[in-house]
Amino acid sequence: MIYLDYVWDLSSNTIIPDVELDTNKLAWKKGDYWQMVEHNGQLILKKVDPVTQFLLEGNDRGCG
């Protein structure tokens, strides 16, 4: 999908999507993890699998 006419606020440590972007349609939810990876020579943000996310959170809390 191509989204036009949206304003994103980008900085070195945050990405703030346009308030009009319906993230529910994209199945994005609070607490999602994203990883920057290279795909066909282009950097992309890829959503981290929920199981991997759970394991990473466990390690951060000293549970893993």
Q: Indicate the number of domains in the chain.
A: 1
Number of other CB atoms surrounding residue 23 within 10 Å? 11
Q: Is 21 contained in some domain? A: no
Q: Is residue 45 part of a domain?
A: yes
Local confidence band at 17 (pLDDT 50, 70, 90 cut-offs): very high
Residue range(s) defining the domain that contains residue 47: 28-64
pLDDT at 64: 47
Instruction: For residue 46, tell me if it sits in a domain.
Output: yes
| In a domain? residue 19 | no
Q: Is residue 23 part of a domain?
A: no
**pLDDT one-digit tens code per residue, 40-56:** 999 999 999 888 888 87
Q: What is the distance between the alpha carbons of residues 32 and 50, in angstroms, rounded to a whole number? A: 8
Task: For residue 42, tell me if it sits in a domain.
Answer: yes
What is the token pair recorded at 33?
Answer: 């993890």
